Amino acid sequence: RLVALAPALAPISLSMNSSAIYLGSAMGAAAGAVVVAIGAMDRLGWVAAGFALAALLSVLLSGSSTSGRR
């Protein structure tokens, strides 16, 4: 979908998308490391659920819709 929106900018848009994925992965790993370091292993699932909820909210609030674009 990214390439279809701006074919001339395909390399840049794909690299930015990959960078966002890697940044999210690093943030999740860092948050997990902090939770483990402070000894709150029983809260690790709640932290992960918080990240999942944040991701869901960002998708819902982005306003993008795929209906009628196929």
65: left (phi > 0), else alpha (psi -120 to 50), else beta? Answer: beta
Residue 69 included in any domain: no
Count other Cβ atoms within 10 Å, centred on residue 13. 16
Structural domain range at position 21: 2-61
Residue 22 included in any domain: yes
Instruction: Please give the pLDDT value at position 69.
Output: 53
Domain count, the chain: 1
Residue 56 included in any domain: yes
Residue 21 included in any domain: yes
Residue 16 included in any domain: yes
Instruction: Please give the pLDDT value at position 64.
Output: 63
Residue 33 included in any domain: yes
pTM of the predicted structure, to 2 decimals: 0.66
pLDDT (tens place) for every residue of the chain, 70 residues total? 778 888 888 889 889 989 999 999 999 999 999 999 998 899 999 999 999 999 899 889 987 666 555 4
Residue 50 included in any domain: yes
